[in-house]
Structure 1
Amino acid sequence: MIRRLLCVLAAGVALAGTVGAEQLGPETNLPMPRYVSLKATEGNARRGPSLTHRIDWVFTRRDMPLRITAEHGHWRRVEDRDGQGGWVHYSLLSGLRTVIVEADMLPLHVRPDANAPVEAKLEAGVIARLGSCDARWCQLRSGGFRGWAEKSRLWGVATTELRD
Structure 2
Amino acid sequence: MTSRQILLGIALMAAMGPAVAQSDVELPYWASINVDEARMRKGPSPDVPVTWEYRRKDLPVKVVARFETWRKIEDPDGTTGWMAARLLSRTRTAIVTGGIQPMREEPSLSSAVAYRAQPGVVGRITDCKDGWCLFDVKGRKGWIQTDHIWGD
User: For this structure pair, what is the TM-score category when the shorter chain's length is used for normalisation?
Assistant: 0.7 to 0.9
5+ unaligned residues in a row in structure 2: which ranges?
1-21
Q: Aligned partners of 2:71, 2:79: CA distance in 1, in Å?
A: 14
Query: Is 1:122 aligned to residue 80 of structure 2?
Result: no
Deviations 1:44-98 (A, max 9, x none): 1111111111111111111100010100000001111111231110110011110
SS in 1 for 2:86: helix
Matched, 1:72 2:67: yes
Aligned residue identity for 2:113: V
Q: What is the identity, as a one-letter code, of the residue corresponding to 1:40?
A: V
Provide, for residues 96-155 of structure 1, a one-character-per-residue CA deviation record: whole Å limited to 9, x for no partner.
110000032211111001001110000000001111101211101113311101011110
- Taking structure 1 as the reference length, the TM-score comes to 0.77
Tell me which residue corresponds to 2:84. 89
Alpha-carbon distance in structure 2 between the residues aligned to 1:49 and 1:80: 16
Matches within 5 A, 1:3-152: 28-152=23-147
Higher relative contact order (CA 8 A, sep 6+): 2
Question: Who is 2:16 aligned against?
Answer: none
Structure-2 separation of matches of 1:31 and 1:110: 33
Separation (CA, whole Å) in 2 of partners of 1:64 and 1:85: 14
Give me the CA root mean square deviation. Answer: 1.2
Aligned residues: 131
What amino acid sits opposite 1:97 in the alignment? R
User: Deviation above 6 Å: which 4+ runs of structure 1?
Assistant: none
Of the two, which has the highest radius of gyration?
Answer: 1
Secondary structure at the aligned position of 1:152 is classed as helix
Percent sequence identity over matched residues?
31
TM-score scaled to structure 2, two decimals?
A: 0.82
Correspondence for 2:10: none
Q: Which amino acid aligns with 1:54?
A: P
Structure 1 unmatched runs, 5+: 1-26, 158-164
